[in-house]
Chain A
């Protein structure tokens, strides 16, 4: 894939030839990577869940709950395989534009992924049963309970009450079913992606004939990954991984440390500065959290820092890059508004709020460090040392220059830039001979796993938000809002509140795709500047990336440091407090966002 995206750039410039096949190849390669790696992550048990309840139960009851979750996942695997098989039959006539490959063939990856999931869960069921804690009778009982629940739902769907709810109050009913189902699975500790998928399935069942539910669900999961923009994700994870493994990003961190060393808890400050520096390179909070956090974490552990706080600082400051340009999120917003807010104006507007978001983390990190009695680094350092650190960081900094310069200069797009970043870091790693062939393989596998977890989650949340739209849930929310007040600031604050709640459950891009079209006309008719509103949306949803249960940046930060999500909640609270103050400032003072673009006459 790296090869293909580099080829796209090279072929465009060196040979002046069209690189159309790469676009289509990459588009489907990403989906295959996401679903296959997602399936593989079930084999090695890497999918994220919220183990609140399981930790509180006795060993035997926990084993029973694990049985239930394995069975639930197994059934999902069966459903997903069936969906893949049905799509294979249905969509053979539909061909892709360039390669003319049948879409059904491409969708057959669902069949493979589903079968892998089924096999993986059969193995874990076997392990649970032979492990001595769960008995075969438990398995039968679990299956019986699930079957009974399903029968009850089936019976309920034939009653008049059900019919009345669906025809007269579909929006509210769907809302209850969707969030109700999701919360139940979440509390039971099922993999979050599976919980999302089932919530979507149940909601879909309210409106769609039984025989159509599985292929529809399967297709929306498949489509959840069908966005060229997501490509930057595995690429920046890979680039970050290469940079950290080969010690390249370490030099960037040294620079950040130089800047942050005078402040108590200097490593945390350096992490924030590093994330902001990285933010000028990528528009992905996930990439930032993995690249910078991946290097800070081992150092922090060695120096005896409080690890949950370290992970929290990393998670909370990683989304800065979504406001500091270049930013995919701002590009998406500009696309949704149909150019009502220009990309370049949004980019200029993003600088100050992005830095504010980082500074909010720095302030709270400083307070937490003082409370824990951490000291600033002792002594100054010589001018020679400063120069040496800068010199050593230069190759890494040059990457920023190459990628940013390349994007701004029009040599390549932001997404192609992610491929270039991989290529550049590969070349550097080869030059320094700091990586063995074995290490390379480990990096690739690790990237696939980390991307697999996230991509599979994105796919399932894509399906859930499709179902939400299909059940008119966003409209219901929009109507409630405008019925509430006509005051500009009140409506903005309400929207912020709604987006904060939405952000708790939903990832940034689906949330933006769904809610921008609802809110945008409302606020612009009240006289809010489109650029200002874009910054508010991205800032608010950035916070959602760090809140459990669905927070992709949080997941990455946790999986990198190995901390539990539940342990991060406490250190995250003060950080959120300061970030919320920043958010309110941005809402009340449009100049914070708009001064810079105005200065440039945008």
Chain B
């Protein structure tokens, strides 16, 4: 059977290539019983739009990032909290933990969808057209962020002025000075050519935006037990690879940005930033559902 996968990313990016790899291997191992047609680039709508089609079982599989998932399951704010993951290794531990996955799966089925797995992006930092070298330079800086209350809240606590713009509008907004900079993945700075205009990167490494791959309940039910196992196994494989790729890509594009575009990277003492967002954790702990998820993650990370 031919199933439909919807994404809003480009086919030749890392996530796009991983998804094709997944689709090819599943097709091969199920001997053509399960095949996929991937609709890249948002041709079936943006994330929240095709997510509704997935809930209805019209589209079978889709890519949705943790910020968009906040809109569906408020408890997901937790995954977008700054400095929840302090290293890529910690991130891998949490995402591959069975307890954590069970908690996610339970929340999902209430909202008429299921999780297939995740694809990791790199850590997000702050880049700007102006020199930014430390926390003080962030004050009153107009920064683009994604449409998520958690991200907005975070930037306000850093002392910056958040502005929500679509990714597509960002290049010209930076060029024209509508915003002074943005927060986002380090690899993207070179990849999306922001390095033409933003020459200063402050390595705040505040969050790791995760792309979840979700499927309809109808898709899950239509698979035979054997095929479901194959699908899950193959997805676990690309999930694990995605972290490695993200790290490699970050290094590669960081070097390219330095060598080819003359971008300057600055390390920063993260302690004041971590301190600044502490109230966000205190607030989250007051919500029983969020507290439950947070405590589970902290337990895995062995921190309090």
Contact = CB atoms under 8 A, between A and B. Distances in A.
Interface centre among B43, B57, B72 (most CB of A within 10 A): B43
A18 B171 CA distance: 19
B40 interface: yes
Nearest to B174: A410
Interface range for B: 35 or more
B193 A339 contact: yes
B140 A514 contact: no
Contact of A93 (B40, B111, B172): B111
Contacts of A12: 142, 163
Contacts of B176: 407-410, 413
Given A95-B74, A97-B147, A343 B171 contact: yes
Interface in A193-218: 208-209, 212, 215-216
A223 interface: yes
B108 to A, nearest CB: 12
Interface stretch (A144-152, A330-338, A478-486): A330-338
Contacts of B40: 517
B20 to A, nearest CB: 14
B166 A228 contact: yes
A344 interface: yes
Interface in B32-68: 37, 39-41, 43-46, 48-49, 51-53, 55-58
Given A18-B162, A228-B166, A412-B178, A339 B43 contact: no
A19 B45 CA distance: 25
B56 A216 contact: yes
Contacts of B111: 93
Nearest to B56: A212
B173 interface: yes
A486 to B, nearest CB: 21
B124 to A, nearest CB: 17
Interface stretch (A277-285, A308-316, A465-473): A465-473
Nearest to A332: B168
A23 interface: yes
Looking at chain A's contact residues, the main secondary structure is helix
Interface string B139-151: 0101000011100
Contacts of A466: 44-45
13 contacts: A16-B142, A18-B164, A20-B162, A94-B71, A97-B71, A97-B164, A98-B147, A228-B166, A342-B171, A408-B176, A409-B177, A410-B178, A413-B169
Interface of B: 4, 10, 37, 39-41, 43-46, 48-49, 51-53, 55-58, 70-72, 74, 111, 140, 142, 147-149, 152, 161-164, 166, 168-169, 171-173, 175-178, 192-193
Given A95-B74, A97-B149, 14 more contacts: A18-B162, A20-B164, A93-B111, A94-B71, A94-B72, A96-B71, A97-B71, A219-B49, A226-B46, A228-B166, A336-B41, A343-B172, A407-B176, A413-B173
Interface of A: 12, 16-20, 23-24, 90-91, 93-98, 100, 103, 208-209, 212, 215-216, 219-220, 223, 226, 228, 331, 334-336, 338-339, 342-344, 407-410, 412-413, 466, 469-470, 472, 474, 513-514, 517
List the 9 closest pairs (A to B, CB-CB), nearest first: A410-B176, A410-B177, A335-B168, A97-B147, A469-B43, A20-B164, A339-B193, A223-B49, A216-B58
